[in-house]
Structures are given as C-alpha cells and as structure tokens.
C-alpha cells in the first residue's frame, strides 16, 4: 500500500525533527558520563583530584551531596549550595560552563548524568537509516482499558529490573493477524510502547524500539510504526533503557521505522 504524498512529507519533517532532537544540547549524543550517587559528597571535573574525573569541562565543576534520605544538593566551586528538586519523570538540570548536568532517578536511586554541550559527537551523526515509509504500518488500534492495572517487571539495558504498570493495551490487526501491545511508559496523551519484532535479528536495534501512540481517544489510538525509534541506549552507553515485556515481542517483521545504527554511535 503506497502512502499519500502529504503523509510522506509529514513523515520526512518528523524525521528531521527527530534527528535535530538527538543532536541538540539535551539530546543523547553528547553524554560523557553517568554516575550512581550514594550518601556523601563527591566532586567532579576534569582535574585528577576529583572524585568523578570527566573527559570535558572545567577542572573543578563543583560537588554533589546526597544525604541519607536521598535528597541531592549541588554546590558550585566558590558558590552556595543549591538543593535539587528531584523528579524521575522530568529529571532536573543545571549547567556548569559547557556541562549540562542532570540528576536522574531509577528505582529510588539517583544518578548524575553529564552532557558536554561542546562535544563534536552530534555532528558525526548525519542521518538515521529508515525503512521506506508505508501507510500499511500506520495502524488505528483499539485502546482497551484493563479491568485492573497490569503490574510488570521489565528488564533494562543495564540489567536493572524495574516495576511498571500498564492500564491499557492496543489491539490491532496486520495482514489479517490480531496483535496486542501494552503501554508501559509515556503519558496519557502519548503512551509509550517498548517493542521488539523479527527485524531485530538483522535490521533493527536488537534490544528494542519505541513507538509512541498518537491521536488517543477513549476507545482508539494510532500506532505509526513508521515512527518506531531506536532507544537512547542505541546512541550512548550512558543510558538505561527499558526492554520490552514478553507481551510486546511480536512474531512478525515490522519493516518500518528506524533501522539499526552502523556508525560509531
């Protein structure tokens, strides 16, 4: 099935926005480190006398303190302590010269993730390879609420199991076969599906891809597999990405969306 010209144009615009997001200062290409935090104070910077020695940035960027209760404070060099308001869904950020620092939270544990906004790495990724756009893979699915939320324990790219909860499933048909996918992340207006299909054997990122639901109503949701994307861990070793639950491993080839990266990333 061929896709309408206007849809293909919209898809190309989406691809450009996707690439720009990856290459942005807050994207996934310029991360230089991710460090678990424990109770106590650690200093960070490029100088060898820091507790966390970085590959870029000032010699001494400051210190991070985590107390026994898990609260975090950043203290810049020659500056006053700055409490960090933790939010696992929207990790707080602060800057030190060319460093964009972020405190992430996973399973109640905090980590300091650092980006180098002067990094040349974003310029090295000029494009992402995609399957040809095909309207066949833009599927309107039933959006079915579960009678009771479904608790799941999903593994991650760093072998750190996490507990998630699905409240809905998408039910759809491709080539006469019916499938179901559970949304385990994301938001009510943009549910996130972590999937794997048979293309992972040869064409797509082996661990998983992400698909975000669109046009969500009480009874329907659009799944556009042409917008299936590689997870952050395909671009950096400093990301922790969820793996698909068993229910989201599809026994077919989804020849749509982003292909596997074969560059330095």
Inform me whether the pLDDT recorded for 265 exceeds 60: no
How far is residue 230 CA from its own chain's centroid?
8
Q: What is the mean pLDDT of the chain?
A: 96
Q: What is the C-alpha to C-alpha distance for residues 90 and 18, in angstroms, rounded to an integer?
A: 19
pLDDT band for 213, please (50, 70, 90 cuts).
very high
pLDDT of residue 4: 72
258 beta partners: 130
Mean pLDDT value of segment 52-81:
97
Q: What is the C-alpha to C-alpha distance for residues 196 and 95, in angstroms, rounded to an integer?
A: 36
Cβ of 187: how many Cβ atoms within 10 Å?
12
213 neighbors 191 (Cβ within 8 angstroms): yes
pLDDT band for 3, please (50, 70, 90 cuts).
low
Class of domain 31-118: mainly beta
Dihedral sign for Cα 229, 176, 246, 104, please.
Answer: positive
pLDDT of residue 75: 98
Q: What is the C-alpha to C-alpha distance for residues 203 and 221, in angstroms, rounded to an integer?
A: 27
- End-to-end distance of the chain based on CA atoms, in angstroms? 33
Cβ of 196: how many Cβ atoms within 10 Å?
21
Domain boundaries, the chain: 5-20+127-248, 31-118
pLDDT of residue 264: 41
Task: Give the phi and the psi of residue 226 in degrees, each rounded to 5.
Answer: -65, -15
pLDDT of residue 5: 76
Going by C-alpha positions, the residue among 112, 124, 123 that lies closest to residue 57 is: 112
Q: What is the gyration radius of the CA atoms in the chain, in angstroms? A: 20
Mean pLDDT value of segment 43-50:
98
pLDDT band for 122, please (50, 70, 90 cuts).
very high
Q: How many CA atoms lie within 13 A of 193 on its CB side?
A: 28
The model's pLDDT over 137-184, given as tens digits with 9 standing for 90+, comes to 999 999 999 999 999 999 999 999 999 999 999 999 999 999 999 999
Mean pLDDT value of segment 122-135:
96
pLDDT of residue 217: 97
């Amino acid at each position: 099935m061929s896709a309408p010209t206007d849809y293909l144009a919209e898809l190309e615009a989406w691809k450009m926005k996707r690439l720009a997001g990856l290459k942005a200062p807050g994207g996934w290409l310029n991360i230089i480190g991710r460090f678990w935090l424990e109770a106590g104070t650690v200093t960070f910077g490029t100088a060898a006398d820091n507790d966390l020695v970085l590959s870029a940035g000032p010699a001494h960027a400051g210190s991070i303190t985590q107390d026994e209760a898990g609260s975090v404070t950043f203290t810049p060099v020659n500056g006053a302590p700055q409490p960090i308001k933790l939010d696992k869904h929207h990790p707080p950020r602060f800057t030190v010269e060319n460093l964009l620092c972020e405190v992430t939270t996973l399973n109640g544990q905090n980590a300091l993730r650092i980006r180098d906004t002067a990094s040349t790495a974003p310029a090295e990724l000029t494009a992402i390879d995609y399957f040809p756009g095909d309207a066949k893979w833009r599927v309107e699915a039933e959006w079915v609420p579960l009678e009771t939320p479904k608790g799941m324990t999903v593994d991650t790219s760093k072998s750190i199991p996490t507990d998630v909860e699905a409240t809905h499933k998408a039910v759809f048909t491709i080539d006469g076969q019916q499938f179901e996918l559970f949304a385990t992340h994301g938001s009510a207006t943009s549910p996130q599906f972590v999937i794997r299909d048979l293309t992972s054997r040869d064409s797509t990122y082996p661990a998983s891809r992400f698909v975000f639901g669109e046009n969500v109503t009480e009874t329907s949701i659009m799944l556009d597999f042409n917008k299936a994307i590689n997870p952050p861990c395909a671009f950096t070793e400093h990301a922790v990405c969820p793996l698909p639950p068993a229910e989201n491993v599809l026994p077919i080839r989804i020849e749509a969306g982003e292909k596997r990266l074969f560059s330095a990333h």
